[in-house]
Structure 1
């Protein structure tokens, strides 16, 4: 886990634009993996875009793709819109109000779905909804990509991640680091096959699933 915690739902900011310090540290490493896993063209739906900083960076890095940000938090949507307005990138769509835990997604199609740092800071129902929604939107073979800290039952968990997990559960008992076997099983039940795992800096993982 990074030394500073990620921006989380409910965290403030005095202006329209929120700032998540971790994005500056992890965006290049994430982009390097996205370069391998994303399609060459089409629309990438980012679920839980948070502050909006990631999607602005990725839209600049991958100009051939159309980027669709989304978030359930009204203040988050304001921040995303502010970052996008400043970036002046034609390949970013206006942010959508999207709650992953519901069946009513405003997005109806995507060529890839990306979700960064949501699974551990939301109820498990949000992850189940993410998988169900991705399965509805994606065509066979299209990717769902997750990034964040996880607990792997077949290996040791870093002390920093265990402490982070405890702090999350103190903040909200419905939050916490998820076990990768539970995540894979839930994805499979929704019609998404586990395809790849990549170790990332600061004890994070990227997980790739593909629509079956």
Structure 2
């Protein structure tokens, strides 16, 4: 009898719209670091559609086992073994990558962890790479929808450190590590896909 794999309906709903955007960003061969692989649904879907990439799944040590059954079942040749990654660690075990992707993590992490994620990605991202961050975001302190407001209340009830982040705060954080918001794509269910890149000096 087949074992039922961990499953996220949100991942199932958003994987196709996200992939449509990533296909126009992750163009050249390279390694993608995924921060917060979760169930592995994104990793399997994206790696299969972009065979020119090496997909490096990662998750917090307490959650890294969640994606392993799906990744093992998929046996996708361009998916690397999942890496245990605490974004707050002083040193990451992966020192360089071309691209970075993370979905629905910034509102789960504490703000110091978001800062550390950006700092490490800023240090390790290729000069011509990009960091794509997916999720719900506020603009100038305002919620983009009633559903996002309700979601934020739900998050804060779960843990005070959680909450939907402001776009302006993320852009300011990116600026400190040499990254700039170059695209801000509207996505289904009041989410966005933010694309951060290095802008060459004139």
Indicate the TM-score class for this superposition, using the shorter chain for normalisation.
over 0.9
1:23 matched to 2:15: no
Encode CA deviations 1:128-160: one digit per residue, 9 max, x unaligned. 111111111112231011000010128762000
Encode CA deviations 1:51-87: one digit per residue, 9 max, x unaligned. 111101111111111000000043x322222111100
**Structure number with higher strand proportion:** 2
Give secondary structure in 2 for the equivalent of 1:55.
helix
In 2, are the aligned partners of 1:138 and 1:211 still within 8 Å (CA)? no
Deviation (angstroms), 1:41? 0.7
1:88 matched to 2:75: yes
**Structure number with higher helix proportion:** 1
In 2, are the aligned partners of 1:39 and 1:111 still within 8 Å (CA)? no
Deviation (angstroms), 1:101? 2.3
Map residues 44-55 of structure 1 onto 2, 5 A cutoff.
44-55=32-43
Among 14, 22, 31, the residue aligned to 1:34: 22
Paired residue for 1:64? Answer: 52
Among 149, 153, 166, the residue aligned to 1:179: 166
- What is the aligned-residue RMSD (CA, Å)? 1.6
Give secondary structure in 1 for the equivalent of 2:37.
coil
TM-score between the two structures when normalised by the length of structure 1: 0.88
Deviation (angstroms), 1:211? 3.0
Counterpart Cα distance in 1 of 2:157 and 2:108: 12
TM-score between the two structures when normalised by the length of structure 2: 0.92
| Consecutive unaligned residues in structure 1, runs of 5 or more | 1-14
| Consecutive unaligned residues in structure 2, runs of 5 or more | none
